[in-house]
A and B are shown apart, each in its own frame.
Chain A
Amino acid sequence: MINIANFLSSGESSLYSRKPGLLQKAATALILPLAIGMLSAGAGAISQHDTASFAVPGQHAQVSQLNTFKVTGAQSDQVLASVIAGANGHGYNVDGNTLLLQALLDPGMSTRVASSTSAVLDSFVASLPSGIKTSVVGDVSAAQLAKSMQDNSPDGVALSEHTNEGSACIVYTMGASRTLPNGQLAQFVDFNDALYVASGDSSDVTTTLHELAHCHPNAVMELDNHPLSVYYESSVRELRSDLAVVLYGASQTGSFEQGLDNVTTLRGATPMRPSHATVGMLEAVTQQLDAKSFVGMPANQVISAAVNIVNGMNPATNKDLRLAFAKDAWTYKLVSMGQTAGPARDANSNYANFAGQPFKVDMTAHANTIVNRSLNHALSQADTVRASKAMSVSRVETFAKGLGLTLSPEQRAKAEFVDGAITPVGTAVSKDGALASTQSPFTMKGLESSVQGDLNGMLANGLIQRSGANTASSKVDATEIVSPQKHSLNKTFGSAFKALETAIAQQEASTRLQESNTWRGPRL
């Protein structure tokens, strides 16, 4: 059973209210009587020792004052915290991005992770056990490694190693796909071999979830000696990472649709990357899952769930996955040969053998899946797409034609709705009311919010500690208003007793003011 005194004496309280100014009233009306009642009435769970702690509201300040961490941007030179002891016993400094990645991947810190864009990456590298350091970093400097990752894998990459000495991963994700030659960040990304235009924010979140899943050990797959096996093995690795993105979307919305729209738009590029053929497998996997069961799941659990779900399906021999992959591979084989029209086509023996059964592919259905999900993704980024001027109706038409598809009236209407030359930025609903822009669940704000509890837990458990007063974190007000306009005002404060202290001070001030007014003369 919970120890109420200990529980309330530290941590973080959040007020949900639509009424501005209610914070102090609530602190006074709710927390004050509760605490005073506990002290005076002597609640069963409170010992004399526990009671004494109420008189020292600030004693848990290490936790309560540090309740908000901030992602520090793509190229981070701000040290937010230090890890108490690294894998080899040495501490190291971390930036906000690294903190985010660590909390997302493994808040228990069995696997150490760092952002390659951190200006203090060298500190992390120096803390690595020698075997892991040799494997991940080699004999280059941390700065050279970071540059190499960015140059060789501009769309993001994860380098990981798992040995008896420990596990470590270095990830390039923040600013991936949108870092310009001058080092500045583009506001949006545009993969022009697909219909993928997305805000930098959405792209960073997608890449982060995807690459962090790559930090998990690869599934052991003993595949038959088949020409497609090498592509299948790679695609299964990508499947775990793409599924992490889809499951995160479900954790925010209760549906797989927006995650599938996001990933399918990326993977629907033409020509297809046969080593990243995940579209069909994602549909097959998600059909076996209940999206609502992921609602509210913490992001780190989402990532590990994606990995465990795919691993648990025994992908080397799983008939559903092999068939879905073979269908994708055969489809794109036909696309590459320009054979996009006509009835469903039988797979040749090579692809049928890999699937373990004969099968047909419906080229039109496949093209519609790619185009429809791409257009739905654009609707979730409508203003970004319009402002980019990068996705015209003619671009959509040309892309669809490459898949053998002529746009339907509905598809054309969506294309026009996100075409910046036709529909102004800021248009939420189409003229006929048939279309509306949607909201993407892939926001850095949401991702950042999801890890605050884990980061505070890492602080409380002594895994990390805050850096000095000259850091960005110290500038963050402990009482931060979150989303004040919509839904409800939410104000977070350090602890119930910090609020209590404030409430008491307010009460006393109010009392003094009233006495003063009375003494001076008539009220207005």
Chain B
Amino acid sequence: MTQPTTLTDFILHIGPNGAGDSCALLRTPGDEWIHAGHVTATVANDERFDLHLVTPAQSICLAGVLPRHIAVIRGQGLYVIQRKDHESDTQAVLLEWRE
């Protein structure tokens, strides 16, 4: 059973990617590596959403995400930009949106 983790401190970046904008979760070196999977959202409150990152072995919730981030993620999925350590290359892993 995957143990769910809730993150309340995180950074989302919206930037250009091809023809439109994409959204990425920025991770610091050494953070738990997030594998490919999918992302979905549920209504929180106060016009916010909880974003659920689901991978084969992980269940991570980003709490209180704004609608405009959800809108971009809904269209383009969520990239996770991360590095294993300071010596490694930066990588972007795409989690596709799932209804």
Chain A residues within 8 Å of B, Cβ to Cβ:
1-4, 6-19, 22, 26, 29-31, 33-34, 37-38, 41-45, 251-254, 292-293, 295-298, 439, 441, 443, 445-446, 449-450, 452-453, 456-457, 460, 482-483, 486-488, 490, 495-496
Interface residues on B, range: 35 or more
Query: Is there contact, CB below 8 Å, between A296 and B11?
Result: no
| Residues on B with beta carbons closer than 8 Å to the beta carbon of A17 | 8-10
Q: List 29 A-B contacts (CB under 8 A).
A: A2-B94, A4-B92, A7-B79, A7-B92, A8-B81, A10-B16, A11-B16, A12-B15, A13-B13, A13-B26, A14-B11, A14-B69, A16-B8, A16-B12, A16-B64, A18-B8, A30-B11, A34-B81, A34-B83, A42-B89, A43-B91, A44-B89, A295-B41, A295-B49, A296-B41, A296-B74, A449-B47, A488-B63, A495-B15
CB-based contact A450/B68 at 8 Å: yes
Chain B residues within CB distance 8 Å of chain A = 8-17, 20-22, 24, 26-29, 41-49, 62-75, 79, 81, 83, 86-92, 94, 99
Q: Which residues of A contact B8 (CB under 8 A)?
A: 16-18, 488
Is the Cβ of A297 less than 8 Å from the Cβ of B74? yes
Given the interface pairs A2-B79, A14-B69, A296-B71, the reply to whether A37 lies near B29 with Cβ below 8 Å is yes
**Closest CB pairs A-B (n = 8):** A11-B15, A296-B70, A487-B64, A43-B90, A7-B15, A298-B71, A254-B43, A13-B13
B47 and A296 form a contact (CB under 8 A): no
Determine which residue in A7, A38, A297, A439 has the highest number of CB atoms from chain B within 10 A of its CB, and name it.
Answer: A7
Q: What's the least CB distance linking B32 to chain A, in Å?
A: 14
Q: Is the CB of B87 within 8 A of A297?
A: no
Complex Cα distance A22/B26, Å? 15
- A1 proximity list for chain B (CB < 8 A): 92
Q: Which residue of A lies closest to B7 (CB)?
A: A16
Name A34's contact: one of B48, B62, B71, B90 (CB within 8 Å): B90
Out of B15, B24, B48, name the residue touching A6 (CB < 8 Å): B15
Q: Are A443 and B11 in contact (CB under 8 A)?
A: no
Given known A295-B41, A453-B68, contact A41–B15 (CB-CB < 8 A): no
Knowing A34-B26, A295-B49, A446-B67 touch, does A13 contact B11 (C-beta < 8 A)? yes
List, in ascending order, chain A residues with CB within 8 A of B29's CB.
Answer: 33-34, 37
A19 to B24, CA, bound (A): 21
Task: A33-B86, A252-B43, A441-B47 given; name 20 further pairs at CB < 8 Å.
Answer: A2-B92, A4-B90, A6-B17, A7-B79, A8-B15, A13-B12, A16-B63, A22-B9, A33-B28, A34-B26, A37-B86, A44-B89, A252-B67, A254-B43, A295-B49, A298-B71, A446-B67, A460-B16, A483-B46, A496-B26
Cβ-defined contact, B83 with A453, below 8 A: no
Question: Which residues of B have CB within 8 Å of A16?
Answer: 8-12, 62-65
A446-B74 Cα distance, complex, nearest whole Å: 17
A31 surroundings in chain B (CB, below 8 A): 11, 26
Q: Say yes or no: A7 contacts B16, CB within 8 Å.
A: yes
Q: How many A-B residue pairs have CB under 8 A?
A: 170
Task: Give Cα distance in the complex from A295 to B17, angstroms.
Answer: 23
A427 CA to B60 CA, complexed, in Å: 37
* Shortest distance from the beta carbon of B14 to any chain A beta carbon, whole Å: 5
Q: How far is the CB of B68 from chain A (nearest CB, A)?
A: 5
Interface pair A26/B9, CB less than 8 Å apart: yes
A298 to B28, CA, bound (A): 30
Task: Determine if A253 and B43 form an interchain contact, defined as CB atoms under 8 angstroms apart.
Answer: yes
- The minimal Cβ–Cβ distance linking B9 to chain A, given in whole angstroms, is 4
Q: Choose one: B41, B64, B67, B94; the contact of A450 (CB below 8 Å).
A: B67
Which B residue's beta carbon lies closest to that of A445? B47
Interchain CB contact (< 8 A) of A43 among B41, B89, B99: B89
**Whole-angstrom distance between the alpha carbons of A17 and B86 in the complex?**
24
Q: Are A12 and B26 in contact (CB under 8 A)?
A: no
| Chain A residues within an 8 Å CB radius of B10 | 15-17
B15 nearest in chain A by CB position: A11
Alpha-carbon separation in the docked complex, A11 to B72 (Å): 13
- Asked whether A18 lies within 8 Å of B21 as measured between CB atoms, the reply is no
Q: Nearest chain A CB to B38's CB is how many angstroms away?
A: 14
**C-alpha gap A254/B45 in the complex (Å):** 11
Contact of B15 among A10, A26, A253 (CB under 8 A): A10
